[in-house]
Amino acid sequence: VTVFIPRDAAALALGAERVAAAVARAARERGLDIRIVRTGSRGMLWLEPMVEVATDAGRIAYGPVRPDDVGPLFEAGFLAGGAHALRIGPPEAHPYLARQQRLTFARCGVIDPVSVAEYRAQGGYRGLAAALRLGPAATVEAVKASGLRGRGGAGFPTGVKWATVMGAQAPRKYVVCNADEGDSGTFADRMLMEGDPLTLVEGMTIAALAVGAARGYIYCRSEYPHAFAALNEAIAAAEGAGLLGPDVMGSGQAFHLEARLGAGAYICGEETSLLESLEGRRGIVRAKPPIPALKGLFGQPTLVNNVLSFAAIPWILEHGGSAYAAYGMGRSLGTLPIQLAGNVRHGGLIETAFGLTLRAVIEEFGGGTLSGRPVRAAQVGGPLGAYFPEALFDTPMDYEAFAARKGLLGHGGVVVFDDTVDLARQARFAFEFCAAESCGKCTPCRIGAVRGVETLDKVLAGESPRENLALLTDLCEVMTDGSLCAMGGLTPVPVMSALTHFPDDFSGRGAAMP
C-alpha cells in the first residue's frame, strides 16, 4: 500500500513530519508493508497535514491528521480507505478542488516532486518534446497565442518578452526565474517549487531553447529552505535523466540550470535588483530602460519570468496556445493560481480561469472569516495591492477589472480581514513596509515612505487633518509618478484605497495608534 504525505512547508509546519513518522511506526508495529511517498500539498491548507492512501478505488484522503490520529486511522482500516471522522474521500472530488481548473498545478500534491519517472508518467516533458519539434520561432508563437501574461504581477505579455530576447543579438543570453516571492499572503511559487519543481525546470528549459540561452538561474528567497532543497534535488534528477546539461533530451543543445539563494530582501524580487544580487552585488534597482530582455544579467539579454509564468509553459506547449487561451476573460487568459489567506476559514491555493469574482473566492472557496465575524476588506495583490470593501467584491479576477477600480491582481494573493480591522493602521503599515524595504536609490520611495508615516500619524492625532490629508494625497502622487520601480510606485495603492473606501477609519483617533 502506498501512503502519500506532504513535504510541503505548510504541511510540515502543521506536523506532517511527525505524522509521517507515526504512520511508519504504526505500520511496522502491525507488520504491514507500506510505502510512504512524500508529495507536495494539494493546497487545501486547513486540511493539512492531509494524508492520502492509494486504494483500489483510487486515492482516498484523510485530514487534518495529527500524530495521535494515526493509531485510530489504522484501526479504522484507512489503508483500504475505511470510514473515519477524518475521511475526506477522493481528493479530486472535494468541492474546493473539483471547482478548480488545475493546469499549472495538475501534478502538485499528486507525485513525488523529485521523481523524473513519476513526472513523466503524469505527462511531464511532453511540452519540451513539442517545443523541440516546433523549434524556437513556433515555440514563441505558441506562447504568444496562449495570451499568457507575467504571473509575477505586472501582467506583461510573456510571448512578447520571449520574442524580444529571442531577437536580441549577443554572445550569451540567460534565462532567470524570479522565485523571490516576497508578497505577504502569497505562496503559490513556493508550493509549486516544493510540490512539482520539474514543471518549473521544464518550463525554463523550453524558454532557454526558444530564446537561445545556454544557462539559467532560479533566484529563490532564503525564507524558502524547503523549496530550495526541492529545486536542487529536481535539477540533479533532471540532469541525471539527460533533461538538463550539455545535451537536453538528445537535442544537441545545452542548458545548465542552477538555483541561487537570496538573502531576505523584498526589493530583490524587483527584476533589476534581483539581477544585481545574482551578480553578487547589493540589491539596488537599476533604471529601466534598458530592459533586462535586452541588457540584463552581466549585461546580456536576459529572460526574467516569475515561477508561475515558466510553470504555465509546459501545459501550453503540450496542448497548444489556443487551448490555454480558451480559459479566462478579456485580455486575462488562462488560469490564475489564487492564494487565499488571512482571516479566512478555508485558505489555500485556488487555480482557476480568470473571471471568478472576488466574492466567490472569499465566500464560496474561503467560507467567510475564520473568526466568524463579517468580512470588511480584502487586500488583493500583495502588500502593495488595494484594500477592497465588500461593495467591490463582485469585481472579477481580471487584470483590467482590478486596474479599473484602482487595484491590482498582482501575483494573485488575497488577504481577508474581518470587521475588527483598522484600515488607517493598514495604510500606515504600507508606508512602514516601504520605509523598511526601500533600496534607497530614489528619493520619492526612500524619503516619501518615512514622511508618509509621519503625516499619517499627524492625521490620526487630529493635527490639522484636512491639510495633512491633502499633503498625504500629494505625497502619494509624487511617489506614484516619481519612483524608480514598483516598490515606491505602488505603495500609495494600499494607502489611497484605504482612504477612499474606509474614510471613517481616518477620523483622528490618535490614542488608537502606536
Contact residues: ligand NAI, CB under 6 A: 150, 152-154, 156, 160-161, 164, 181-183, 186, 269-271, 291-293, 304, 381-382, 384, 408, 410-411, 485-486
DSSP 57: T
Ramachandran class of 114: left when φ > 0, alpha when ψ lies in -120 to 50, beta otherwise: alpha
Pick 124 or 152: Cβ nearer ligand NAI: 152
Q: Residue 314 Cβ, how far from ligand NAI at the closest point, in Å?
A: 20
Alpha-carbon torsion 473, 508, 404, 149, what sign?
positive
Residues 507 and 462: their CA atoms lie apart, in Å, by: 8
Q: Residue 432 Cβ, how far from ligand NAI at the closest point, in Å?
A: 16
Q: Residue 365 Cβ, how far from ligand NAI at the closest point, in Å?
A: 21
Residues 297 and 184: their CA atoms lie apart, in Å, by: 27
Pick 336 or 485: Cβ nearer ligand NAI: 485
Residues pairing with 255 in the sheet? 245
Pick 124 or 492: Cβ nearer ligand NAI: 492
Strand-strand pairing, 375-380 and 174-179: unpaired
Pick 91 or 488: Cβ nearer ligand NAI: 488
Pick 152 or 347: Cβ nearer ligand NAI: 152
Pick 6 or 150: Cβ nearer ligand NAI: 150
Query: Three-state SS string across 143-196, please?
Result: HHHHCCECCCCCCCEHHHHHHHHHHCCCCCCEEEEEECCCCCCCCHHHHHHHHC
- Asked whether the beta carbons of 5 and 19 are under 8 A apart, the reply is yes
Nearest to residue 239, comparing CAs of 225, 224, 254? 254
Q: Residue 374 Cβ, how far from ligand NAI at the closest point, in Å?
A: 28
Q: Residue 93 Cβ, how far from ligand NAI at the closest point, in Å?
A: 32
Pick 337 or 381: Cβ nearer ligand NAI: 381
What residue has cell string 527584476?
271
Cα angle vertex 380, ends 471, 417, to 5°? Answer: 90
Q: Residue 463 Cβ, how far from ligand NAI at the closest point, in Å?
A: 32
Q: Residue 270 Cβ, how far from ligand NAI at the closest point, in Å?
A: 6
Hey, what's the cell of 505?
477609519
Q: Please identify the residue of the shown chain whose CB is closest to the bound ligand NAI.
A: 153
Cα 366 to Cα 104, 148, 303, 385, 498: the distances in Å are 21, 26, 35, 19, 23
Pick 237 or 486: Cβ nearer ligand NAI: 486
Pick 223 or 233: Cβ nearer ligand NAI: 223
Cα 285 to Cα 89, 220, 297: the distances in Å are 49, 18, 13
Q: Residue 403 Cβ, how far from ligand NAI at the closest point, in Å?
A: 10
- In the chain, the amino acid numbered 73 is L
Q: Residue 53 Cβ, how far from ligand NAI at the closest point, in Å?
A: 35
Pick 9 or 486: Cβ nearer ligand NAI: 486
Q: What are phi and psi for residue 361, nearest 5 degrees?
A: -60, -50
Pick 91 or 410: Cβ nearer ligand NAI: 410
Cα 307 to Cα 119, 188, 190, 450: the distances in Å are 18, 9, 9, 32
Cα angle vertex 491, ends 443, 329, to 5°? Answer: 135
Alpha-carbon torsion 494, 500, 503, 506, what sign?
positive
Let me know how long the chain is: 514
Q: Residue 67 Cβ, how far from ligand NAI at the closest point, in Å?
A: 34
Q: Residue 34 Cβ, how far from ligand NAI at the closest point, in Å?
A: 39
Q: Residue 305 Cβ, how far from ligand NAI at the closest point, in Å?
A: 8
Pick 46 or 429: Cβ nearer ligand NAI: 429
Query: Three-state SS string across 365-434, please?
Result: HCCCCCCCCCEEEEEECCCCCEEEEHHHCCCECCHHHHHHCCCCCCCCEEEEEECCCCHHHHHHHHHHHH
Hey, what's the cell of 196?
512539482
